[in-house]
A and B are shown apart, each in its own frame.
Chain A
């Protein structure tokens, strides 16, 4: 049994209360969502907050809904809810495809969208999904709320725009009629973090790509996205040749590190291969194939 250091624990009663508690306890406090990233780190004593502020009671942070032309996910929506949501599936296949390969059912039952975003692990799958779909997050503090595009959200590994005394409340994604989307992941074993994942949405109209988003994780893609590859595709036919060239551009913009999941050259290759596969399927699905 791995044993964390002593820690205090309090259950927040509302978002405002959670923010007040964060301000009261300063940088030694941590929000506790699903706990699937935080608790393992505490058990290994890599994280040792003095107090945990549990936000699991906050129903205001739950639920998946459509608001105008956006999909809105509360921060406490779990992976399992994303996986099985008919609303999300109706608009984007990428959610289901990504969630199917994130962790395992135990982690998915508790782990949350907000926790995943705020953990900001450089291999986080939902970060690639969020970057591909060009979503945004809503951050609240004692003075109010602000919206930050996901492609500006990450400050670096494990660092985000969420500052002390702040809480992420929502993740939002624009709805794009006729967009096809797909997610591709290579893992060493089911439930493992990705060696590389790539996700994409594509809108094909009049035989050309009119809108596209590409997200990549675990391969050192800045802000988990590949804007040059996207720009290259706009206005071009979704031919195998064009998709491959875009995938290569995406891979070229990555700078993966070697680790036990694989050497850098392999990861770079995967960035190309998986981007290509995601683009192919997304484009085909946009064209109703």
Chain B
């Protein structure tokens, strides 16, 4: 199979099965009828605001809330001291001032002893309006004793570094994971070291080393984080409307944090205005809204403003990498070794499967076939906001793809080889799949060279190189950058993957009504991915029911079965598979009902889209709609069906899916100003079978814009005093249409062999793959100045400095 057979069209003109169709959810979005958390207004609802620390590191001497409490309209002011006094009947600490993170660390809900990052939560005001709550913040008098902050990750382990987590009795700033490890290692250390020793001694080999930073960035979803909590004191039911990418997982966490019985908690994620990983974690604000309703007996709304979102919620990356690659002089890669200093901020709040404390970073060996790879990740605390895995990164595969793709370009430069040729020489070959990588991943399928050639054809690669040579002769600087990436997405197999002990399998339910219309109930949570459309198409593909006759329900834990949520591109690989499986179950039940109606054996029946018929007698059959009605009728049913067609399923993926792609970026650089213009961007993705190609392209478009943003402008830097220098959209720059070229997309289709419909995740592919293409293009453009590497973001200033031969650290304030 190379492409999807064209599906027949329904009466409404939609494909019955796979194919492009407009997104169902856009009907409400384009009319301004979306329902976001901030649109939720409950009777008697109170509002809230959080007082945040102006310091990155300071001891709290005293907090005086009396003036704030006296302000008319203020209902309550809550501090860490008050939370300390509320006992918690839970294993996760004995009071409410602290909460667990998704990485088994603790995080302050409201600071009690110290503040540990600028923007940390210090006090919580509940008032009759948001304005009053904000006014009250100004009346809270906090006396701080400033402490020296740790802002430079590279100094966090210095002997004289201030200790950040003295609350845990730490004597250094190392992070210890749940298994007791302080470093995370993967691959074959001895063999890799030996390969480097051998290469160093071999005149036919080269070793290239580079320090590569993936700076701290922020997902910056359009909708900031927020929640509305209401505890009904009569029934004991807690309803929490919240910006969550994982409502079921959040419900379980609240049960653990608050000690509330889980059956009494209902988490509702209504429309979510973008997540990108930012809405995976549980934030103090959410917990405070819950505490707020417990204290006041009224619904309490908490909604961040933009600066709060940028300064306190989950950042991404912050990986300081030292990477080296060994290869033969004719360009065969032999080994790669990477050391990472990982800045996790003040609390280890990374969201990733428990056994993968550095996420899936160890997929960094990339798309190439070589035997030896090793990495060592050393995580540290700093006085920065907590978080870590966020921003469409497929659990740190963004960092992994970036480091290997940058490194390969550095190698190409060293060898004076065309970076396309170097890649082609080393790509894993189709016949090598399933391919076990040197760090132990089992890539499921791929036709890498074919995909790369498609991208090079669209780009007109040879012609571009000719143009570049002509331009260089005229003193014009054009660059061509390639990135070839492989992701492993769809976490994940339960035997190895869980978050806080919750296995990463997804439940699903499919109901078929007597009239043949269906309702699919999902655990995953769309933040813009188009689930309401694509999941209906999967069921449509399996059952032949038109997509417009299938409603998709998600985002309400009372309405949907358990599952771990949407992040890491896992919705299609896991829940998409579940949708196929549950629809096939319905199809099997329908076969039994059809056989009863047609008075034959189920074995005598054959399926065609939307219909069971008697083998050899195509006229004798029943459509799925007819069967649905029959299943509710007085028809006598044989064993195996009690009545109706409804089914449930839980899907436990046997492996991750491995989408991949080849991206080519063309830039023009003005060496006089350092300005970069992205002229062209070619993206050829292979995400297996495409359920809705238009939605796939939309996902890719968004991710490419992300990549241009990260490569050229997005950054959360800090000054030495601890000030966050990316705390507003004036400072944290997101790309606009002007910076984005007309994306040129292409595809190859290599189905996943183990996924029921052959699909792979694609939600993060472009974010993962594109930054390296842009950076490689810029470096290619300015390589005549002797530049081999410069760190993101490649702002005009940073490009100019690189041209001057004076690279700068981009994670600290510009000096």
Q: Is the CB of A263 within 8 A of B797?
A: yes
Given A186-B673, A273-B672: A195 and B796 within 8 A (CB)? yes
Shortest CB distance A186–B (Å): 5
Flag B799-814 by CB within 8 Å of A: 1 or 0 each.
0110000001000011
Q: Is the CB of B673 within 8 A of A270?
A: yes
Q: Is the CB of A186 within 8 A of B305?
A: no
Tell me, in angstroms, the Cα distance from A104 to B635 when the chains sit together: 67
Shortest CB distance A9–B (Å): 15
> At the interface, yes or no: A258 with Cβ under 8 Å from chain B?
yes
Tell me which of B129-137, B344-352, B437-445, B576-584 binds A.
B129-137
Q: Is the CB of A263 within 8 A of B731?
A: no
> At the interface, yes or no: B738 with Cβ under 8 Å from chain A?
yes
Shortest CB distance B726–A (Å): 8
Q: Is the CB of B739 within 8 A of A189?
A: yes
Tell me, in angstroms, the Cα distance from A23 to B731 when the chains sit together: 37
- Select one of B303, B736, B814 contacting A259, CB under 8 A: B814
CB contacts (< 8 Å) of A192 on chain B: these are: 733
Q: Is the CB of A2 within 8 A of B814?
A: no
> At the interface, yes or no: B538 with Cβ under 8 Å from chain A?
no
Shortest CB distance A98–B (Å): 17
Flag B668-694 by CB within 8 Å of A: 1 or 0 each.
000011110000000000000000000
> At the interface, yes or no: A289 with Cβ under 8 Å from chain B?
no
> At the interface, yes or no: A158 with Cβ under 8 Å from chain B?
no
> At the interface, yes or no: B20 with Cβ under 8 Å from chain A?
no
Q: Is the CB of B131 within 8 A of A189?
A: no
Q: Is the CB of B796 within 8 A of A6?
A: no
Tell me, in angstroms, the Cα distance from A259 to B813 when the chains sit together: 7
> At the interface, yes or no: B725 with Cβ under 8 Å from chain A?
yes
Tell me, in angstroms, the Cα distance from A261 to B730 when the chains sit together: 11
CB contacts (< 8 Å) of B206 on chain A: these are: none
Within 8 A of A (CB), among B657-677: 672-675
Q: Is the CB of B733 within 8 A of A263?
A: no
CB contacts (< 8 Å) of B730 on chain A: these are: 193
Tell me, in angstroms, the Cα distance from A258 to B813 when the chains sit together: 9
Flag B513-528 by CB within 8 Å of A: 1 or 0 each.
0000000000000000
CB contacts (< 8 Å) of B712 on chain A: these are: 189
Shortest CB distance A276–B (Å): 9
CB contacts (< 8 Å) of A263 on chain B: these are: 797, 801, 808, 814-815
CB contacts (< 8 Å) of B675 on chain A: these are: 186
Q: Is the CB of A188 within 8 A of B713?
A: yes
> At the interface, yes or no: A260 with Cβ under 8 Å from chain B?
yes
CB contacts (< 8 Å) of B808 on chain A: these are: 263
CB contacts (< 8 Å) of B131 on chain A: these are: 3, 6
Given A260-B717, A262-B814, A263-B814: A3 and B130 within 8 A (CB)? yes
Binding site of A, secondary structure by majority: helix, strand, loop or mixed?
loop
- Select one of B38, B800, B814 contacting A260, CB under 8 A: B814
Flag B722-735 by CB within 8 Å of A: 1 or 0 each.
00010010110101
> At the interface, yes or no: A91 with Cβ under 8 Å from chain B?
no
Q: Is the CB of B307 within 8 A of A2?
A: yes
Shortest CB distance A3–B (Å): 5
- Select one of B306, B731, B797 contacting A262, CB under 8 A: B797
CB contacts (< 8 Å) of A191 on chain B: these are: 736
CB contacts (< 8 Å) of B717 on chain A: these are: 260
Given A186-B796, A188-B795: A258 and B815 within 8 A (CB)? yes
> At the interface, yes or no: A73 with Cβ under 8 Å from chain B?
no
Most buried by B among A2, A266, A269, A274: A266
Q: Is the CB of A260 within 8 A of B725?
A: yes
Tell me, in angstroms, the Cα distance from A10 to B32 when the chains sit together: 32
> At the interface, yes or no: A190 with Cβ under 8 Å from chain B?
yes
How many inter-chain contacts with C-beta < 8 Å in the A-B complex? Answer: 75
Tell me, in angstroms, the Cα distance from A270 to B673 when the chains sit together: 6
Flag B698-742 by CB within 8 Å of A: 1 or 0 each.
000000000000001101010000000100101101011011000
Q: Is the CB of A1 within 8 A of B797?
A: no
Flag B37-49 by CB within 8 Å of A: 1 or 0 each.
0100000000000
Given A258-B814, A260-B717: A266 and B800 within 8 A (CB)? yes
Within 8 A of B (CB), among A133-177: none
Flag B104-131 by CB within 8 Å of A: 1 or 0 each.
0000000000000000000000000011
Binding site of B, secondary structure by majority: helix, strand, loop or mixed?
loop
- Select one of B673, B725, B738, B796 contacting A190, CB under 8 A: B738
Q: Is the CB of A262 within 8 A of B796?
A: yes
Tell me, in angstroms, the Cα distance from A3 to B127 when the chains sit together: 14
Size of interface on A: residues with Cβ below 8 Å to B:
27
CB contacts (< 8 Å) of A270 on chain B: these are: 673
Within 8 A of A (CB), among B754-812: 795-797, 800-801, 808
Instruction: Identify the closest chain B residue to A259 (Cβ).
Output: B814
> At the interface, yes or no: A5 with Cβ under 8 Å from chain B?
yes
Within 8 A of B (CB), among A239-262: 258-262
Shortest CB distance A236–B (Å): 23
Instruction: Identify the closest chain B residue to A40 (Cβ).
Output: B730
CB contacts (< 8 Å) of A2 on chain B: these are: 305-307
Tell me, in angstroms, the Cα distance from A154 to B764 when the chains sit together: 49
Shortest CB distance A108–B (Å): 14
Tell me, in angstroms, the Cα distance from A59 to B736 when the chains sit together: 35
CB contacts (< 8 Å) of B814 on chain A: these are: 258-263
- Select one of A1, A188, A258, A260 contacting B796, CB under 8 A: A188
Shortest CB distance A271–B (Å): 11
Shortest CB distance B470–A (Å): 24
- Select one of A3, A6, A189 contacting B713, CB under 8 A: A189
Instruction: Identify the closest chain A residue to B737 (Cβ).
Output: A190
Tell me, in angstroms, the Cα distance from A1 to B224 when the chains sit together: 9
CB contacts (< 8 Å) of B739 on chain A: these are: 189-190
Instruction: Identify the closest chain B residue to A5 (Cβ).
Output: B135
Tell me, in angstroms, the Cα distance from A78 to B703 when the chains sit together: 36
Tell me, in angstroms, the Cα distance from A6 to B72 when the chains sit together: 14
Q: Is the CB of B733 within 8 A of A266?
A: no
CB contacts (< 8 Å) of B672 on chain A: these are: 273, 277
Shortest CB distance A260–B (Å): 5
Flag A1-16 by CB within 8 Å of B: 1 or 0 each.
1110110000000000
Shortest CB distance B720–A (Å): 13
Tell me, in angstroms, the Cα distance from A5 to B801 when the chains sit together: 42
Tell me, in angstroms, the Cα distance from A277 to B814 when the chains sit together: 26
Given A262-B795, A263-B808, A266-B800: A189 and B735 within 8 A (CB)? yes
Instruction: Identify the closest chain A residue to B735 (Cβ).
Output: A189
Tell me, in angstroms, the Cα distance from A261 to B712 when the chains sit together: 12
Flag B131-158 by CB within 8 Å of A: 1 or 0 each.
1001100100000000000000000000
Tell me, in angstroms, the Cα distance from A1 to B49 when the chains sit together: 11
Q: Is the CB of B134 within 8 A of A274?
A: no
- Select one of A186, A189, A274 contacting B733, CB under 8 A: A189
Tell me, in angstroms, the Cα distance from A266 to B733 when the chains sit together: 20
Instruction: Identify the closest chain A residue to B129 (Cβ).
Output: A3
Instruction: Identify the closest chain B residue to A274 (Cβ).
Output: B673
Within 8 A of B (CB), among A267-289: 269-270, 273-274, 277
CB contacts (< 8 Å) of A259 on chain B: these are: 814
Q: Is the CB of B134 within 8 A of A3?
A: yes
Given A259-B814, A262-B795, A263-B815: A190 and B801 within 8 A (CB)? no
23 A-B residue pairs with Cβ-Cβ distance under 8 Å, sorted by A, are: A1-B38, A2-B307, A3-B134, A3-B305, A5-B135, A6-B131, A44-B307, A186-B674, A188-B713, A189-B733, A190-B739, A191-B736, A260-B731, A260-B814, A261-B814, A263-B797, A263-B801, A263-B808, A263-B815, A266-B674, A266-B797, A266-B801, A269-B800
On B, residues with C-beta under 8 Å from A are 38, 130-131, 134-135, 138, 303, 305-307, 672-675, 712-713, 715, 717, 725, 728, 730-731, 733, 735-736, 738-739, 795-797, 800-801, 808, 813-815
Further pairs besides A186-B674, A260-B814: 16, Cβ < 8 Å: A1-B305, A2-B307, A44-B728, A186-B675, A188-B733, A189-B738, A190-B738, A190-B739, A259-B814, A260-B715, A261-B795, A262-B797, A262-B800, A263-B797, A266-B674, A273-B672
Query: Which 7 A-B pairs give the minimum distances between C-beta atoms?
Result: A262-B797, A190-B738, A3-B134, A266-B797, A2-B305, A189-B733, A273-B672
